[in-house]
Amino acid sequence: MNSRRNFIKTTGLISAAALFTPTDAIAALPEETLTKIKPQALKPGDTVAISSPAGAVWDENQIEKFSDILKSFGFKVVIGKTLKEKFGYFAGSDELRAAEINELFANKTIKGIFCMKGGWGCARILNKLDYKIIKENPKVLIGFSDITSLLLAITSKTGLITFHGPVGNSGWNEFTKNVFTNVVMTKKQFSFPENPIGEDRIYTIHPGKVSGELVGGNLTVLSSLIGSEYLPNWKNKILFLEEAKEEPYSIDRMLTQLKLSGVLDSISGFVFGKCAKCLAEEPLKAFTFHEVILQHIQPLKIPAYYGAMIGHIENKLTVPLGISATMDSDKGILSLEESSVS
Report, as residue numbers or ranges, the catalytic residues. Answer: 145, 242, 312
Measured CA to CA, the distance from residue 270 to residue 240 in angstroms comes to: 6
Length of the chain: 342
Rg (CA), the chain: 20
Measured CA to CA, the distance from residue 310 to residue 319 in angstroms comes to: 8
Measured CA to CA, the distance from residue 285 to residue 220 in angstroms comes to: 23
Measured CA to CA, the distance from residue 7 to residue 1 in angstroms comes to: 10
Q: What is the DSSP string of 303-326?
A: -EEE--S-SSSSS---EEET-EEE
Measured CA to CA, the distance from residue 287 to residue 246 in angstroms comes to: 13
Query: Long-range contacts of range 57-63, CB-CB < 8 Å, 24 or more positions apart?
Result: 57/83, 57/84, 57/91, 57/116, 57/117, 60/84, 62/116, 62/117, 62/168, 62/169, 63/116, 63/168
Q: What is the DSSP string of 52-112?
A: -SSB--S-THHHHHHHHHHHHTT-EEEE-GGGG--BTTBSS-HHHHHHHHHHHHH-TTEEE
Measured CA to CA, the distance from residue 43 to residue 111 in angstroms comes to: 9
